């Protein structure tokens, strides 16, 4: 699977989890907690794949315009990873506040996903070409498998 297809599949998974979270009710505390854990894992791995594999290749192949896109995307990741997700995790899933925060997370992530799929990914296809995207996709699949194993193995947890 090439890098763009792999990342789009991740986007679809994240959007599905977000939809389930926004449709959940305040009584569904267990379901909300499980969905939030899944969302966090998907986002954490996805962010690492983009920031360690696709974004550097995109930035290197591009010009100043791609530099700006690179830093904007990294800033959006930082906002979600360091501010939005920790706030959501610290919120009681049985409250209306949780529902409100989930809605904001969904809007932020959907905006980010749309920008990537309509701007970054098409430019990456042009700049990097099929062979490079296939190579990056293989690297991503290996990295993703390693991260999933590490995140699901309690003996490897720090």
Task: Going residue by residue through the chain, which has 158 residues, state the pLDDT in tens, using 9 for 90 and above.
Answer: 899 999 999 999 999 999 999 999 999 999 999 999 999 999 999 999 999 999 999 999 999 999 999 999 999 999 999 999 999 999 999 999 999 999 999 999 999 999 999 999 999 999 999 999 999 999 999 999 998 888 776 665 54
Q: How high is the pLDDT of residue 154?
A: 62
Position 158 in a domain? no
Q: How high is the pLDDT of residue 119?
A: 95
Q: Are 98 and 39 in contact (CB under 8 A)?
A: no
Q: How high is the pLDDT of residue 155?
A: 62
Give the number of domains in the chain.
1
Q: What is the CATH number of the domain that holds 74?
A: 1.20.120.520
Position 156 in a domain? no
Position 144 in a domain? yes
Q: Quote the DSSP letter at residue 156.
A: G
Q: How high is the pLDDT of residue 158?
A: 46
Closest CA to 85 of 37, 119, 131, 134: 37
Q: How high is the pLDDT of residue 152?
A: 73
Position 77 in a domain? yes
- Percentage helix, strand, coil for the chain under 3-state DSSP, each rounded to 5: 90, 0, 10
Instruction: Quote the CA–CA distance of 10 and 6 in Å, as a whole number.
Output: 6
Position 157 in a domain? no
Q: How high is the pLDDT of residue 92?
A: 97
- Those residues with Cβ within 8 angstroms of residue 6's Cβ, 6 or more apart along the chain or in another chain: 49, 137, 140, 141, 144
Position 155 in a domain? no
Which residue segment(s) compose the domain that 84 sits in? 3-150
Q: Which residue has the tokens 């989890």?
A: 17
Q: Are 56 and 124 in contact (CB under 8 A)?
A: no
Position 120 in a domain? yes
Q: How high is the pLDDT of residue 46?
A: 95
Instruction: Quote the CA–CA distance of 36 and 41 in Å, as a whole number.
Output: 9
Q: How high is the pLDDT of residue 148?
A: 84
Position 35 in a domain? yes
């Amino acid at each position: 699977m090439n890098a763009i297809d792999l990342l789009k599949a991740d986007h679809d998974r994240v959007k599905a989890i977000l939809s389930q979270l926004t449709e959940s009710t305040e009584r569904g505390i267990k379901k909300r907690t499980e969905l939030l854990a899944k969302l966090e894992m998907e986002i954490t791995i996805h962010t690492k794949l983009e920031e360690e594999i696709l974004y550097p290749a995109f930035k290197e192949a591009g010009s100043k315009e791609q530099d700006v896109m690179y830093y904007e995307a990294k800033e959006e990741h930082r906002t979600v990873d360091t501010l939005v997700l920790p706030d959501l995790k610290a919120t009681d899933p049985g409250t209306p506040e949780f529902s409100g925060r989930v809605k904001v997370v969904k809007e932020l992530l959907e905006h980010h996903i749309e920008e990537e799929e309509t701007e970054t990914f098409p430019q990456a296809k042009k700049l990097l070409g099929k062979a490079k995207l296939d190579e990056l996709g293989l690297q991503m699949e290996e990295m993703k498998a390693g991260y999933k194993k590490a995140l699901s193995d309690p003996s490897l947890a720090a």
